[in-house]
Amino acid sequence: MLSLRPCRAFPALAICLLALASPRATAADEAMVVRMVNNAYLPDTLTVSVGSTVRFVNDDPEIHTATQTGGFDSGLIFPGESWQYTFTAPGEYQYVCLPHPFMVGTIVVQ
Ligand SMILES: [Cu+2]
């Protein structure tokens, strides 16, 4: 029966609407995001102020990490997932993706 279709679709639709209704990130929040796209960090260098939380979002179909030698380590970030880290000290934090060592990025904290 054709009329069943909208009913079946409703739960998914409700989730979509909930997502749209959640509070919007401010411009400042959006700037604190590093996306992983096409096996690269975007942006590859991000400058933030001390105390900022940076969210690493995996928009790729592959697993990535954000790993600083001797420092922070996201562990595996699966496709569609994210991980965040708060930078409490000034400095230049260089990091790589462990499965893809050619993926490099820098967080400049000032
Ligand atoms: Cu990777």
pTM (2 decimals)?
0.73
Find the 65 Cα to ligand 1 centroid distance in Å.
Answer: 6
CATH of domain 25-109: 2.60.40.420
- Measured in Å, residue 57 CA sits from the centre of ligand 1 at 12
Ligand 1 centroid to Cα of residue 1, in Å, is 46
Which residue in 58, 54, 25 sits closest to 41, CA to CA? 58
Domain range annotation of the chain? 25-109
Secondary structure class of 27 (helix, strand, coil): helix
Q: How confident is the model over 40-68, as pLDDT tens digits? A: 999 999 999 999 999 999 999 999 999 99
Percent of the chain with pLDDT over 90: 72
Class of residue 107 by CB neighbours under 10 A (exposed 0-12, middle 13-18, buried 19+)? buried
Note the residue count of the chain.
Answer: 110
User: What's the 91 CA to ligand 1 centre distance in angstroms?
Assistant: 24
> Ligand 1 centre and the CA of 64: distance in Å?
4
